[in-house]
Chains A and B, each alone.
Chain A
Amino acid sequence: MNLEYGPEYERFRAEVRDFLTRNGHRAPEPAQRAARPTAEAVVWQNLLLERGYTARTIPREYGGYGAAPNILEARIIAEEFVRASVPGGLSNQGISMLVPTLLELGTEEQKRRWIEPTLRGEIVWCQGYSEPGAGSDLASLRTSAREENGHFVINGQKIWTSTARQADMIFCLVRTETEAPKHAGISYLIFSMDLPGIEVRPLKTMTGHAEFNETFFTDVRVPVDQIVGQRGQGWFVANATLGHERGMLGDPDALESRLLALIRLMQEEQVGCARAIDNPVLRDRLVALQAEVAAMKYNGMRVLSNQLKGDPGGMAKLIVKLQSCELAHQISALAIDAMGELGILYGGSPREREGGNWQWNYMFQLGLIIGGGTAQIQKNIIAERGLNMPREPRLALDAAQSRKEVA
Chain B
Amino acid sequence: MDFGLSPEQEMLRDTVGRCLSEICPLDHVRSCLDAGSAVSDQVAAALHDIGLTGLMVPEAHGGLGMTLLDAAVAAEQLGRAVAPAPFLARSVLAPLALMLAGSEAQQDEWLPRIASGEVRFGVAIGGIVEERDGAKVRAGDGRLTGTALFALDLAGADHFIVADDSGRLHLLAATATGVERIALQTIDATRSVGELRLTGAPAEPLADDGGLAARRLRDAGRVLLAADSLGAGEVMIEKAVAYAGEREQFGRVIGSFQAVKHMCAEMAARHEPCRALVWYAAHAFDAVPEAAALVACHAKSLTGEVHRFVARTATEVHGGMGFTDLLGLHFWFKRIGFDRQVFGGPERVRFEAAQLQGLTATT
Contact = CB atoms under 8 A, between A and B. Distances in A.
A4 B261 contact: no
B301 A298 contact: no
A72 B1 contact: yes
A308 B297 CA distance: 30
Contacts of B56: none
A389 interface: yes
* Interface residue SS majority, chain A: helix
A78 interface: no
Contacts of B274: 295
Interface in A351-407: 376, 378-380, 382-384, 386-393
B276 interface: yes
Given A290-B353, A295-B298, A302-B275, A323 B3 contact: no
A284 interface: yes
Given A283-B360, A386-B268, A391-B256, A295 B4 contact: no
Given A284-B347, A302-B275, A383-B264, A292 B302 contact: yes
Contact of B269 (A280, A290, A291, A382): A382
A283 B359 contact: yes
13 contacts: A284-B350, A287-B301, A287-B353, A288-B305, A291-B298, A291-B353, A298-B276, A301-B3, A305-B1, A323-B270, A382-B268, A383-B261, A383-B264
B3 A390 contact: no
Contacts of A390: 245, 253, 255-256
A301 to B, nearest CB: 4
B265 A387 contact: yes
For chain A, give the interface size range: 35 or more
Interface string B13-42: 000000000000000000000000000000
B1 A376 contact: no
A283 B354 contact: yes
Contacts of B4: 1, 302, 305-306
Contacts of A288: 301-302, 305, 346, 350
A103 B21 CA distance: 49
Interface in B248-303: 252-253, 255-256, 258, 261-262, 264-266, 268-270, 272-277, 279-280, 283, 287, 295, 297-299, 301-302
A345 interface: no
A322 interface: yes
B241 interface: yes
A316 B275 CA distance: 9
